[in-house]
Structure 1
Amino acid sequence: MPPAAPGTGRVPVRKTYKLYVGGAFPRSESGRCYPVTASGGAHLANAALASRKDARDAVVAARSAFPGWAGRTAYNRGQILYRVAEMMEGRRAQFAAEIAEADGIGAARADELVSAAVDRWVYYAGWSDKIAQVLGAANPVSGPYFNLSQPEPAGVVAVLAPPAAPLLGVVSVVAPVIATGNTAVVVAGERAPLPALTLAEALATSDLPGGVVNILTGRTGDLAPHLASHADVNGIDLTGALPESAADLERSAAQTLKRVLRPGEGEDWLADPGISRMTPFLETKTVWHPVGM
């Protein structure tokens, strides 16, 4: 039990965060949670310890949301991503405080990282209706046909969030996945999950349909193998995978022909992201159409 607050005689109530699945905030089916501590060791809150069943439920929610999300116009998806940026802007003080506590950094640095995370949503909102123009093509063919290629979303993508960047890193790996029409099951970093959970609250109060993004907390090493082997997951981003397990996860993902984004070395989350995180979970659809004679 935590000690009584000085001068009050009362025990402070620690918030226990839940999972974010299907647009709702369920408890872990196991009922378990774990303490989240600041960089100095202070007990900040409790987070749900997601189980294999929770991961399966998140995949079901993401699969159910996929047809509707992929079927929206790219322009509308961009509008919704921009709305997420607006919701984050309204909570920037809370995000900055959580980052500062998790990483032991100053207020100015934390505010800079929040600004970068908000801007990252705006960046991918702008790309939503432009990526098809960059990656699509009208192909030259010998015959009376139109031959057109265009990118389409792969489906449900499991995302292992980078533990070293509890807000900007999460946004940087999730936003490009959903900007292109995929849905996501995200495993937040175990050490500092609070910014990702506050992001879930911002997503829930934005225009993002339930199930498009699902956020699990707990041990990445426990959840990742189940997502890598899940037959209804179409791709996996291994950015937050433990170095010793990344190769095993990739081999497991290969059994169900998943698209895999391997973890990079020394990621600079403040750098210009380009489109390199948008392309791994897109498939190219080519259509032939006869030309009227």
Structure 2
Amino acid sequence: MKRIEVLKTYKIYAGGKFPRTESGRYYLALNINGEPIANMCRGSRKDIRNAVVFARRALGAWSGKTAFNRSQILYRIAEVLEGRKSQFIEELILQGMTKSSALKEVESSIDRIVYYAGWCDKYCQIGSSVNPVSSSHFNFSTYEPVGVVGMIAPQDTSLYGLISALMPIIAGGNSCVLLANEKMPLCAVTFAEVLHASDVPGGVVNIITGHISELIKPLATHMDVNAISISNLPELKREIDLYSVDNLKRVRSYDVNWNSKGNQALHYITDFQEIKTTWHPIENIGGATSTY
């Protein structure tokens, strides 16, 4: 009699923990031959709501860290991913990639994390400005995080696209609720284990697996989500735009080949930043003007 393999059940990642989905449901992740390779939690509306609560709770501490400290934490993610490279290669092969392609994807993903780690303490210097004004004020503008970002992972890539879209969001001090690739979810949930071991505070990144069609609406209509990021899903753009109207969420829809090195750039960070302008009065004594 042929032995029945015991498939691993991958849990969701929310609030720095690995709970089972509130719904108790699961679905099968399949390999390229249509054979089951894992049980995946099938997330629900309640899981999305819980994840947003965790993301909002974590936002203040994460955005309040020094930019250099965020850079250190992102670099630590790259270090831990480097140490678990063989596991990610194996999972990519299970999902249909060749060994050489899988190795290239994992190494490119590590390099991309390092790229955004380097930007954490630099993007404000480049994008901020001191503005000329006609009154007795210093006037300067700088970036601050938009808040909680809902992200729908690219459905055409398992690891590289996820990292390429996620890293600029958290590099800029935002927190994130991420819907994993529905058909190739293994790397997303294993990457949650990397985040958990990398000094990333619980709740900064929350990863929900399940059917995208069931999870888009509760994420995009949630009033405590400030922005939405989608990649290579033009068929969902109009639907998400309509859902996002009520609280005027910022929607960023990318139609890009994440495998290209040209698709790592500063603007992916600033897409999820607000510009804060400060007016600071200058003392004017006896009609004298400032010499600053």
Relative to the length of structure 1, the TM-score reads 0.93
Specify the alignment match of 1:96 in structure 2. Answer: 89
1: CA distance, partners of 2:250 / 2:235: 20
Contact 1:116/1:270 (<8 A) preserved: no
Q: Match of 1:132, SS?
A: helix
Q: 1:40 aligns with which of 33, 41, 44?
A: 33
Contact 1:19/1:25 (<8 A) preserved: yes
Q: Match of 1:185, SS?
A: strand
Contact 1:21/1:58 (<8 A) preserved: yes
2: CA distance, partners of 1:199 / 1:19: 11
Tell me by how many angstroms 1:74 deviates: 0.8
Tell me by how many angstroms 1:209 deviates: 0.2
- AA partner of residue 224 (structure 1): I
When the two structures are aligned, how many residues end up with a matched partner?
A: 283
Specify the alignment match of 2:125 in structure 1. Answer: 133
2:245 is the alignment partner of 1:257 = no
Specify the alignment match of 1:7 in structure 2. Answer: none
1:121-151 Cα deviation digits (max 9, x unpaired): 1111100011101111011112321101000
Task: State the percentage of identical aligned residues.
Answer: 46
Q: 1:267 aligns with which of 257, 265, 270?
A: 257
Q: What pairs with 1:183-202 in structure 2 (closer than 5 Å)? A: 183-202=175-194
Specify the alignment match of 1:277 in structure 2. Answer: 268
Q: What pairs with 1:198-277 in structure 2 (closer than 5 Å)? A: 198-239=190-231, 241=233, 243-264=234-255, 266-272=256-262, 273-277=264-268
Q: 1:292 aligns with which of 280, 283, 287?
A: 283
- AA partner of residue 128 (structure 2): G
- How large is the RMSD of aligned CA atoms in angstroms? 1.3
2: CA distance, partners of 1:120 / 1:244: 27
1: CA distance, partners of 2:13 / 2:168: 19
1: CA distance, partners of 2:201 / 2:148: 15
2: CA distance, partners of 1:72 / 1:154: 15
1:39-69 Cα deviation digits (max 9, x unpaired): 1222211110000000000000000000100
Relative to the length of structure 2, the TM-score reads 0.94
Q: 1:50 aligns with which of 43, 47, 61?
A: 43
2: CA distance, partners of 1:153 / 1:182: 5
Specify the alignment match of 1:143 in structure 2. Answer: 135
Q: Any unmatched runs of 5+ in structure 2?
A: 285-292
Specify the alignment match of 1:165 in structure 2. Answer: 157
Contact 1:228/1:252 (<8 A) preserved: yes
2: CA distance, partners of 1:115 / 1:203: 17
- AA partner of residue 116 (structure 1): S
Q: Match of 1:184, SS?
A: strand
Q: Any unmatched runs of 5+ in structure 1?
A: 5-9
1:10-40 Cα deviation digits (max 9, x unpaired): 4321100000000000001111111111112
2:66 is the alignment partner of 1:108 = no
